[in-house]
Structure 1
Amino acid sequence: MKIKSIYKSISAALIIAVTASCTADFVDMNINPNTSVVANPESLLAPTLHDLVWRNQNRAIRLTNEIMQVHVTTVDSREFHRYFIRPTESDYMWRNWYLKLTDIKDIYNKAEETRTDGFETFKGLSRVLEAWTFSLLTDMFGDIPYSEANQGRIGNVTPIFDPQRDVYFGLFELLEEANTLLATSGNLPGTLAEYDPLYEGNALLWRKFGNSIYLRLLLRASDKAEVNAAQKIREIIENPSQYPIFNSPLESAVLPLGSQQPLTSAFWNFRDFDFNGDKGYTEFFINNLNSWQDPRLPIWSTMASGIYAGIPSGWSSGQIPERQSTLQVGLKTDPRMGNIINHAEVQFILAESALKGYINGNPQDYYESGIIAALAHWDLEAPEGFLERQFLAWEDDWTFDEKMDAILKQKYYALFFTDFQQWYEHRRTGHPILIPGEGMLNGGRMPARFGYPINVQALNARNYNEAIQRMGPDNINTKVWWNTED
């Protein structure tokens, strides 16, 4: 892949960034107050991208895949598949996403401060990453520190929690700014492009990345009238020169993490057993793929007794099922697993938008384009007659809900190992319709959010209490703003 040619530059960037991070503890020692202690933007970019995608992969295998019936554990005490989420699970995402937001903001601020070649481009791509990372946080928890976030350096260690509505409007502003900056700044010049492991400094592709995230967030908040999402989605689609989005799978935002330093996947040094030995694919996940005779099956799954087979999710305590098909170990270092947002997801966003009348066009066309793009993500072509197969072919006489389930089911597979997006989308739509197990907890209700980290409750109690008074009880059943009725 193209990234191999820039490993050396990225390694250097990682060393610089790690050194800067290590020395940051010595706050009062040997610091010239008239100079910045922040690393250059190019030295922060690759480590920040790598850390975010690496940790998102880690949580996808631990949490998302269990909650969303991709695979299911065969360890009785691990109960995510039963919708039991311990409060301690929240800290990992909260802490690490906010740590990376410090680096993302430093990319912007240092670019603004130095005004060297490419500074406007660095500012633009920083805004894209900032919007994406904050969206992960707010879609996980609801109200979050946003306007006062990452201000520890200036002494604010108890930031206010902004209402999710305000966060979302802030994210839209960030993405508008990013699109404008990148439209006027051009590509990263010269060797600076080598520090970008995602797009090698290509400003147009970063614009497409940002505007595709914009579509994701607009659709997510589209049930809230004040967003006026339909109008903005239509504006984006009808003005491709002003708002370019992904036009092919080759443009997707996929960080190619594998087995080679420095861009290693979260699983590259897992033993095979650690990767797939205590879990198996679910019946829901495998049965759909079997019904379509889907060509992704041999890439994703092993066979069990000569067939692809799954096991029930949400099984009752003490009734551990015998594993059947498991994750292919080749996925541990498959660079296609570094998905942030891909062309297929955008096509399914457009399919739903067309179905709801937000944009002109036939939802079937976008649906089928999304299926083709989802296969292309795995370097596959659709077999002859694939789109006409039973259970896959679009039917005009389906009900609205059946069409939604078809679109969201295909989107679910396009989001394979993509942070928490399957779960976020299911919370928003109720699709795809999952199969509840006999041992489900929480009344069989899909968790609507994660609770805030315990240390946040203790160390920022006043602002935490204001947030839960506004949102509702701090538990997994309190819905976030975009998921509540007006």
Structure 2
Amino acid sequence: MKMKYLNPIIIFTLFVGISIFVSCNKDFDDINENPNEPTEVSPDVLLASAIKQSVNTSTNESFLLGNNAGQLTAKTLRTEVDDYNWNAFPTVWSGFYTSLTDVESMIDITYDLETSTTKYDRMRGVGLVLRSWIYYNITNAYGDVPYFNAIEGDNGNFTPAYDSQSEIYADMIEKLDQADSLLQTSYNNSDIEVEPITGDLIYNNDASKWVKFANSLQLRILMHAGNRIANGSQKFEDIVNNRPIISSNDDNATLDYLGGFPNQFPTIPLKTGDFDAVALSQNAYATLSAYGDPRLMRYARPSNGNYDSTGVTSFSGAVNGRNNDNCNKSGSRLGAIYYNYPDQKTASSLGLETANGLMMTYAEVQFILAEAQAKGWINTGTVEGYYKEGILASMEQYQVNVTSAGSYSTFGYSDFDDFYNNSGVAYNAVTDIWEQKWLALFFTGLEPYFEVRRWYVESNKDWNNIPFLSAPCDNVNDDVLPMRFLYPGEEQSLNSANYNNALPPDYDIDTPMWVVE
């Protein structure tokens, strides 16, 4: 077959068409750029998103897990948490790791690879604090977890290795030191020009308060690590003596929720039946009622919903454990600051603010200092001084000083000093610190469980050595408090090699991790 020659006109037309196509293709990106649409996400957007996602996860898991495993509240339905029939609790894993994608992206924006210098010093410092708080929750729940290469999907790493908890703890401390330096330099030195913090839903862009949170979080981490970190007590003392820490309720690391959807406290939108699946625990009720503690009317709701009643007779506690005839599951509903019941008094009608998302509080810091003083880690203050201040801080945090229902007078006291001196709560032993810290940690994420686990181990795993707690009724784990959550099943299928390498011998919920060996 002979090839036919193309008509010269057709050849010219093709040439012109190809030239136009090449020219258009070359300038296509420029022509189609939208000058009103940003090509990069700004750090403030990422920060706000990460804060909301991580604190929502923490608050939800406090309602479902932390308070119940720590025996501050009890499940009345679906009692797997209470009776130690534990699984992976995958929403903890997925919720916190999802929020880390925004945190890591924000931190990346603050570093200039071309010049190897830090931009946005304050924002980077905030990102490092938030990152450490999130990873602290993940590693304390699961043990060894992906950390150093965890959020590298953009680089094609979808199966990150698991890092040891000891290395994670060491790096969290290092990152918090970096955050302290970045934030302190930026707000103390007026000669240094730095970008302001923006998008901060916790401290309203106040760098000085992030410094206090960074250092206080280190104190929490060091207290959990104990003597497992070389020179940990010296590091603790250095922070207390030389760095700013949370020093009043004004410094509390909290997310202030708003009154309307979707920015409400996470339990507010629940169906009534779902909210009623958690009640005040018998152990919490017994402790609060024995002292005539006014926080009882903040944590719980009187059985008749009448906040004008006095005394503690209209309250009760549900027993932690299985949902059967042996375990009484009847307990007071959680308080008005956590939910709005139809035809019952609400927080606003009682003159109270609704609950906030708690990351760390002044009360907790005071109890940490009290325990450190008792251990001989610090030489400032006194055990009782810190202990008493911790109780007062918790009372004020929960608006007990408000003259509405639940004030000191409701329980027969004239003021806080009257309560402290005459209720039986005055300091006597280290377990008193544990007890009052436990009460103050109500709805503080997973921290109630983490602390109960630490005390349980320090008490030789004997419930009798923790006076305010007990083995859950008819639990399925031989009265033994579980040491960890199990890894999510998707890790076994999607990241199997690293998952299998991370599994300790005889792996189950009772297998200890480094921080509670």
State the TM-score, normalizing by the size of structure 1: 0.83
Give the structure 1 partner of residue 98 of structure 2: 99
- Cα deviation, residue 84, structure 1: 1.1
Deviations 1:136-188 (A, max 9, x none): 11100111111111011101111111110000000011100000000112299
Is structure 2 residue 233 aligned with structure 1 residue 230? yes
- Residue 50 of structure 1 deviates from its aligned partner by 1.1
Contact map agreement 2:54 2:99 (CA 8 A) in 1: yes
The 1:269–1:438 alpha-carbon spacing in structure 2 relative to 1, beyond 3 Å, is closer
Would you say 1:311 and 2:315 are equivalent positions?
A: no
Task: Give, in whole Å, the separation in 1 of the partners of 2:164 and 2:328.
Answer: 43
- 1:207 equivalent in structure 2: 211
Question: How far is 1:371 from its partner?
Answer: 0.5
Q: After superposition, give the CA deviation of every residue in 1:357-392 in whole Å (9 maximum; x if it has no partner).
A: 000132111111111111111123453411113431
| Residue matched to 1:302 | 301
Q: Which amino acid aligns with 1:456?
A: E
Query: Which residue of structure 1 lines up, in the alignment, with residue 488 of structure 2?
Result: 453
Q: Is the 8 Å Cα contact of residues 193 and 201 (structure 1) preserved in structure 2?
A: yes
| CA RMSD of superposed structures (Å) | 2.8
Task: Give matches, 1:255-334, under 5 Å.
Answer: 255-261=255-261, 263-275=263-275, 277-304=276-303, 306-315=313-322, 317-319=324-326, 321=328, 323-332=330-339
Aligned to 1:444: 479
Using the TM superposition, give the Cα deviation of residue 322 of structure 1 relative to its aligned residue in structure 2, in angstroms: 5.4
Residue 413 of structure 1, aligned match among 418, 421, 439: 439
CA deviation after TM superposition for structure 1 residue 295, in Å: 1.4
Alignment of 1:350 with 2:352, yes or no, is no
Deviation of 1:317 after TM superposition, in Å, equals 3.1
Counterpart secondary structure, 1:81: coil
CA deviation profile, 1:427-467 (whole Å, cap 9, x unmatched): 11225641224311111111101011111112212211221
- How far is 1:320 from its partner? 5.8
Q: What 5-or-longer segments of structure 2 have no aligned partner?
A: 1-31, 305-312, 341-352, 402-414, 457-465
In structure 2, C-alpha distance between the alignment counterparts of 1:98 and 1:157, rounded to whole Å: 13
CA offsets per residue over residues 224-271 of structure 1, 9 Å max, x none?
A: 1x43211011101111xxx21011111110111132355322123223
Equivalent-residue separation in structure 2 for 1:274 and 1:262 (angstroms) = 18
Shift of 1:44: 1.2
Distance in 2 (CA, whole Å) between partners of 1:356 and 1:195 is 39
Kindly indicate whether the alpha-carbon contact (under 8 Å) linking 2:318 and 2:329 is maintained by their aligned counterparts in 1. Answer: yes
Question: Structure 1's 421 and 31: CA in aligned 2 closer, same or farther, altered over 3 A?
Answer: farther
Q: Using the alignment, how far apart are the partners of 1:191 and 1:119 within structure 2?
A: 5
Map 1:117-128 onto structure 2 (within 5 A). Answer: 119-128=120-129
Larger Rg: 2
Match of 1:129 in 2: 130
Q: Counterpart of 1:50 in structure 2: which amino acid? A: K
Residue 86 (1) aligns with residue 87 (2): yes
SS of the residue 2:359 aligns to: strand
Matched, 1:428 2:454: yes
- Does the C-alpha gap of structure 1 residues 319 and 259 become closer, same or farther in structure 2, counting only changes over 3 Å? farther
Tell me how far 1:210 sits from its aligned partner. 0.7
Superposition deviation, residue 113 in structure 1? 4.1
- What CA distance in whole angstroms lies between the structure 2 residues aligned with 1:79 and 1:439? 12
**Closer/same/farther in 2, CA of residues 189 and 261 from structure 1, 3 Å limit:** farther
CA-CA distance at 1:36 after TM superposition: 9.9
- Aligned residue type for 1:86: N
Q: Which amino acid aligns with 1:169?
A: A
Do 1:83 and 1:441's aligned partners in 2 also have CA atoms closer than 8 Å? yes
What's the secondary structure of 2:284's corresponding residue? helix
Partner of 2:200: 196
Match of 2:515?
482
| Larger helix proportion of the pair | 1
Aligned to 2:418: 385
CA distance in 2, matches of 1:65, 1:421: 8
- Once the two structures are superposed, residues 205-239 of structure 1 have per-residue CA deviations (whole angstroms, 9 ceiling, x without a partner) of 00001111010001110131x43211011101111
Three-state SS of the structure 2 residue aligned to 1:339 is strand
SS in 1 for 2:62: helix
- Which AA in structure 2 matches 1:411? K
Q: Distance in 2 between matches of 1:57 and 1:379?
A: 20
Post-superposition shift, 1:404?
Answer: 2.5
Whole-angstrom CA distance in 2 between matches of 1:322 and 1:428: 27
How many residue pairs end up in the alignment? 436
- Superposed counterparts of 1:12-161, under 5 Å: 38-75=40-77, 77-87=78-88, 89=89, 91-113=90-112, 119-161=120-162
Q: TM-score, normalised by structure 2?
A: 0.79
| CA distance in 1: counterparts of 2:279 and 2:506, whole angstroms | 34
Q: Kindly indicate whether the alpha-carbon contact (under 8 Å) linking 1:255 and 1:335 is maintained by their aligned counterparts in 2.
A: no
CA distance in 2, matches of 1:384, 1:347: 17
Q: Which moved more, 1:372-381 or 1:97-106?
A: 372-381
